[in-house]
Chain A
Amino acid sequence: MSEVVQLRETDRYVLRFSRADRLLHGFLMLSFLGLASTGLPLLFSDAPWAARLARALGGFAVTHRLHRVFATMLIAVFVAHLSRLVERVAVRKDYGIFWGPSSMVPQPRDLVDMYQHVRWFIGLGKRPVFDRFTYWEKFDYWAVFWGMAIIGGSGLMLWFPEVFARVMPGWVFNIALLVHGEEALLAVGFIFTIHFFNSHLRPEKFPMDMVIFTGRVSERDLREERPAEYARLASGPGPFPGAGRPSARLWLAGRVVGSVAVAAGLTLVSLILYALVF
């Protein structure tokens, strides 16, 4: 790292997620939690907690409707995200989403990073120099991306079976229900354990990484966690693209929302584990 970088170190922040990104993630959280809590009782209908949870949420008539309200919300989030990508490419001619450090597309570098990261875990090497999006973040992204496509697609089939039956045989709905449930179990299990750990609960971040709520990462954290990105920003042609400090109110709101979401998620995971074990 150059001396220029050293000089620039203050209490400055860098904008990592725009307001639109954070808003979409917020709706993603809300709809995901809503879908999970109204859907899991069905998937684990044998478990003693299932009927109680379904009744607590208002019974079949209410959960049935809520699941579809949240489904519509999540589909809207998905469509909004896709439109933003299209807009970036078509209007702003920003092809960075296809390749390079700002792209979510897996690249050879990610495999190398993963290999080195694991070596670092077991003390065989140094920590890899990460850029804007790490390999586990890309995995999270694509898991959710394909999860939404698969769960959403199968969910629509189950929502409108008579319509889909015009073009496909009924046994597809047997598969749709299985895939919908198993993929949902994967998504719920992954988000509420692996994603929570990777992004919030691991020792470096515990109890919570606030960047998804405030959008801002401190210059010091950025330099430590994503040295490649930091170096690129610091050595860029223009002035360092700093952002203001996150407001105390935003920070507090994020803390509350995040804590509630983590608590709800871990509760659901405990219920799943209970159903799987007993």
Chain B
Amino acid sequence: MRHRGMLATLAVIWTLASASAITTAGQSAAPKARGAAPAAAPAPPPPTTDDCLACHDDDSLKRANGTSLTVHKAVFGASVHGALACVDCHADLAHAELPHAEKLAKVDCATCHGDEVAQYRQSAHAVARAGGSSVAATCVSCHGMHDIRTKSDPQSRTYHLNVAATCSSCHGNASVIEKGHIAIGDVASPFKDSIHGRALSRSGLLVAPTCSDCHGPHDIRKKADPASRVALHNVPATCGKCHEGIAHQFAGSVHATILAKGNGGAPACQTCHTAHAIHAADDPAWQLGVVNQCGSCHADKMKTYRDTFHGQVTKLGFRAVAACADCHGNHRILAASDPASPIAQGNLVRTCGKCHTNANANFVKYDPHADKHNRTRNAGLYFASKGMQLLLMVTFAFFGLHSALWFGRGMKERREKARV
């Protein structure tokens, strides 16, 4: 009880302090913004916010088509723009007669937020708008209208922990996805279950990335756009903003080398980790899934791996034995010819020894990708396979026929016996 009382007191002090801070900030910002507007020479004076709210702070105020025209005084007052006058944004009303015409000029956020709007103009959202999309996001889609709050305000749509929900209102909405022809479809639900999504929603971690950390806040570009943060060749740097150590490892890998050469088939982080459904790397189910991902490029290696005990056990869904990364490493995968590679000849005893404690030089002559069809690489296995095939064929052919004939004769005998 004592603790709760103390907490309540602290909360009240905190609220008062922040409220006064916001008020002060608003007051100091207001004249600056107003100063940007051209000085009005002729009368009549522009309507004050109170003039506007005299009509608009009314729940019943509607357009002819029934959409709301309400601006709550309290909501606007609490917004980051609360200290501004309505006409600072609705500049066309500065000299209008009241009541004003129903159709107003579009508010131009660039009046104050020039850089952000310039970035937005490059974004996939702006491009889609320009192309005639009626659903692509504009400033208000993410920031709101009269209730805009700063991104540091936990009630803001753009507060770090709220961004995913804000983006999901479109990118998890089937009708918007359809109308906007959004090829990737619903990314909201996979992200929600991803390790990043859970870190945000369950653990409330401000350090966990949300949509804008990878895609950017205003200049969100499609991955096909080379300037995009999520363009294939930019992905390692984007992920590396947080996972810097991993990015360094990856930079030395064969995958990074071919990626840098512009090979569009080269893997970047999301190739194995996925973009939105990223799992914890120690999740066995994910680790087993990555095997298939490796196999999607290295099909021949995948095939021979599946012929081994390692490949069979993992195929059954058990993580108990070696998967690709256990021998090849993960982020810094190197060619076997590279002496630093875990599968370089000189490192095999140590690499195999991670599981097979007493592995020796003889042991590592095992071929973890042996191909029974390859006479040059695996001669012994090739002939063993052919021999076994022959043995099985001959045995089953002979005894299959033997049994079939016997069955026929046996049935005949049985019928004859029954007749007697």
| B contact residues vs A (CB 8 Å cutoff) | 306, 308-309, 311-313, 315-318, 320, 356-360, 362-367, 370, 372, 378, 380-381, 384-385, 388-389, 391-392, 395-396, 399-400, 402-403, 405-411, 413-414
Contact = CB atoms under 8 A, between A and B. Distances in A.
Interface stretch (A7-15, A52-60, A247-255): A52-60
Given A51-B317, A118-B402, A170 B407 contact: no
A172 B367 CA distance: 9
Given A166-B360, A170-B366, A179 B384 contact: yes
Given A46-B306, A165-B363, A171 B403 contact: no
A88 B107 CA distance: 106
Contact of B403 (A168, A173, A198, A204): A198
A148 interface: no
Contacts of A42: 309, 312-313, 316
Contacts of A55: 317
B317 A197 contact: no
A109 to B, nearest CB: 18
Interface string A28-68: 00000000000001110110001100110001110010000
B309 A60 contact: no
A193 B401 CA distance: 12
Given A121-B408, A172-B380, 9 more contacts: A50-B316, A51-B317, A121-B405, A121-B406, A162-B359, A165-B363, A167-B362, A182-B392, A203-B410
Contacts of A174: 308, 366-367, 370, 378, 380-381
Contacts, number: 138
Contact of B407 (A45, A179, A202): A202
Interface string A189-201: 1100110011000
Given A186-B395, A203-B410, A165 B362 contact: yes
A161 B355 CA distance: 12
Contact of B409 (A120, A163, A165, A183): A120
A185 interface: yes
Nearest to A64: B320
Contacts of A185: 392
A204 B417 CA distance: 11
Nearest to A55: B317
A175 B384 contact: yes
A71 to B, nearest CB: 15
Given A118-B405, A161-B366, A203-B410, A41 B381 contact: no
Contacts of A172: 380
A42 B380 CA distance: 22
A203 B357 CA distance: 55
A76 interface: no
A182 B406 CA distance: 27
A263 interface: no
A171 B366 contact: yes
A87 to B, nearest CB: 32
A213 to B, nearest CB: 22
24 contacts: A45-B312, A46-B306, A51-B315, A51-B317, A122-B405, A162-B357, A165-B363, A169-B362, A170-B365, A170-B367, A171-B370, A174-B366, A174-B380, A174-B381, A175-B381, A175-B384, A177-B308, A178-B384, A182-B388, A194-B399, A194-B402, A202-B403, A202-B407, A203-B410
A187 to B, nearest CB: 10
A179 B399 CA distance: 21
A148 B276 CA distance: 52
A158 interface: yes
A171 B367 contact: yes
Most buried by B among A123, A178, A185: A178
B360 A41 contact: no
Best-buried of B318, B357, B391, B408 by chain A (most CB within 10 Å): B318
Most A Cβ at <10 Å: residue of B316, B356, B360, B388: B316
A168 B318 contact: no
Contacts of B357: 162
Nearest to B363: A165
A94 to B, nearest CB: 31
B385 to A, nearest CB: 6
B317 to A, nearest CB: 5
Contacts of A120: 409
Nearest to A174: B370
A203 to B, nearest CB: 3
B384 A189 contact: no
Interface in A71-124: 118, 120-123
A175 B357 CA distance: 22
A203 B413 contact: yes
A42 B307 CA distance: 10
A102 B402 CA distance: 24
A162 B359 CA distance: 6
A272 to B, nearest CB: 12
Contacts of B384: 175, 178-179
Nearest to B391: A186
Most buried by B among A59, A60, A194, A203: A203
A189 B392 CA distance: 9
Nearest to B378: A174
Contacts of A175: 380-381, 384
B312 A43 contact: yes
Nearest to A163: B358
A92 to B, nearest CB: 34
Nearest to B308: A177
A190 B402 CA distance: 13
A127 to B, nearest CB: 9
* Ranked 7 nearest A-B pairs via Cβ: A170-B366, A203-B410, A60-B318, A170-B365, A165-B363, A121-B405, A182-B388
Contacts of A143: 395
Interface in A116-161: 118, 120-123, 136, 139, 143, 158, 161
Contacts of A162: 356-360, 363
